[in-house]
Amino acid sequence: MSFPSGAVGKPAARVRPAAARVPNIAAKHEGGDPEIDAAHEHPSDILDYFREKAEVIASGDWERMPLNFMDKVAACNTTARALTERRLGFVAARNLHL
């Protein structure tokens, strides 16, 4: 199951109903919760992965990106907490980005 880019609503809220009935569901966070991310000076952008480091630094975005990353981690933890509270098992993808 996947959700379209820019789908409205918190990721955890969209995954919970399906997680109870869909075996082996996968959830991937590309950014923080949309309500939080939208308020940032530089919201998360998947295209940032393809920018040259020198251009990111020159634009001033380098200093803003750690906040985006920490919001992504917080959103992932929110999803994990919501699944755990509903006694739904999951396995974190430890080696996903090695």
Report if residue 81 sits inside a domain.
yes
Burial of 85 (0-12, 13-18, 19+ CB in 10 A): exposed
Report if residue 17 sits inside a domain.
no
How is residue 25 written in tokens? 């569901």
Report if residue 25 sits inside a domain.
no
At residue 14, the pLDDT reads 66
Report if residue 64 sits inside a domain.
yes
Report if residue 61 sits inside a domain.
yes
Report if residue 70 sits inside a domain.
yes
Query: What is the CB neighbour count within 10 angstroms for residue 11?
Result: 22
At residue 97, the pLDDT reads 61
- Domain span at residue 44 reads 30-85
Residue count (the chain)? 98
pLDDT in tens, 13-58: 666 677 677 766 666 656 788 888 889 998 888 888 899 999 999 9
Q: How many domains does the chain have?
A: 1
Looking at the predicted structure, is the pLDDT value of residue 11 above 60? no
Report if residue 56 sits inside a domain.
yes
Tell me the backbone φ, ψ of residue 6, rounded to 5 degrees: 80, 10
Report if residue 18 sits inside a domain.
no
At residue 1, the pLDDT reads 34
Over range 52-76, report the average pLDDT: 92
Which one is predicted more confidently, 2 or 37?
37
